[in-house]
Amino acid sequence: MTPAALDGGAKYNRVMLKISGEALMGDQAYGLHPPTVERVAREIKAVHDLGVEICMVIGGGNIFRGLQGSAQGMERTTADYMGMLATVMNALAMQAALESLGVYTRVISAIPMDQVCEPYIRRRAVRHLEKKRVCIFAAGTGNPYFTTDTAAALRASEMACEAIFMGKNVDGIYDSDPKTNPDAKRYADITYDDVLRRNLKVMDASAIALCRDNRMPLVVFALSEPGGFKGIMAGQGTYTIVHD
């Protein structure tokens, strides 16, 4: 069922935005690119100004990726915790960018670190959203062996979000890599079971299964498109929707 549109034209009242850490790198090979962080923050503000309640999960791959550390010989649990700390750094950067635009924001960490962000308490986080504060959930689920994709699916379900919006560098899900195959086919919509069966790399399998089991729509779109997030919220533009 499609939620009733808000006064500003948005089709959803509360959403989860999941972006990768690499989305904040710009043209760099590593780290944060402040102009890119500011551009993404403006995209979020445009949707927030419609009255949409927004929560976020940002990956940490621009700083440290647990799986890569593990592949290079580091003990997996330690590598994953380092990756979780990288997501906190990205969350704080996004908080600073949003608040410079006048958007009240809370960084909420699954790993307690009271001097820099709030601990995760579900009812408090829901109250922040009701007060129109953007909530950025950091440190994944707080557990190793789980990705930020799974954290986004989990927090979206806990916050009673109406959809997960996944900002990518392509405008949807394709049957092959559109960067290397000019004949790649984009799906306008697809089921979660088909995503798993065709092994389409949009989210890890546990996150897809969690979305499917909770009947959570997933919208995949190009975050690099100026005004794209706001347009997608109104059902405009190019995207893929994954449903049950």
Q: Assess if residue 7 is contained within a domain.
A: no
Q: Which domain holds residue 22?
A: 14-243
pTM: 0.92
Residue 10: its pLDDT value, please? 78
Q: Is 198 among the domain residues?
A: yes
Domain count, the chain: 1
List pLDDT tens digits, range 132-142: 999 999 999 99
pLDDT score of 241: 95
Q: Is residue 5 part of a domain?
A: no
The CATH number given to whatever domain includes residue 209 is: 3.40.1160.10
The alpha helices in the chain, defined as continuous H runs, are 34-48, 66-71, 76-100, 122-130, 148-158, 192-197, 205-213, 228-233
Angle between helices 148-158 and 205-213 (to 10 degrees): 10
Mean pLDDT for the chain overall: 92
pLDDT score at 6: 47
pLDDT at position 58 is 97
State residue 48's pLDDT score: 97
pLDDT of residue 169: 85
Q: Has residue 206 been placed in a domain? A: yes
pLDDT of residue 201: 84
In a domain, 6, yes or no: no
pLDDT score at 212: 95
Q: In this predicted structure, what is the pLDDT of residue 9?
A: 64
Q: Is residue 9 part of a domain?
A: no
Quick check: 139 and 84 in contact, CB under 8 A? Answer: yes
Q: Is residue 65 part of a domain?
A: yes
Question: Which residues of the chain carry a pLDDT beneath 70?
Answer: 1-9, 66-67, 69-70
State residue 55 phi and psi, 5-degree precision. -120, 160
- Please provide the DSSP assignment of 79-126 as one string: HHHHHHHHHHHHHHHHHHHHHHTT--EEEEESS--TTTSEE--HHHHH
Q: What is the pLDDT of residue 1?
A: 37
Q: Is residue 129 domain-resident? A: yes
Q: Which residue has the tokens 């935005």?
A: 17
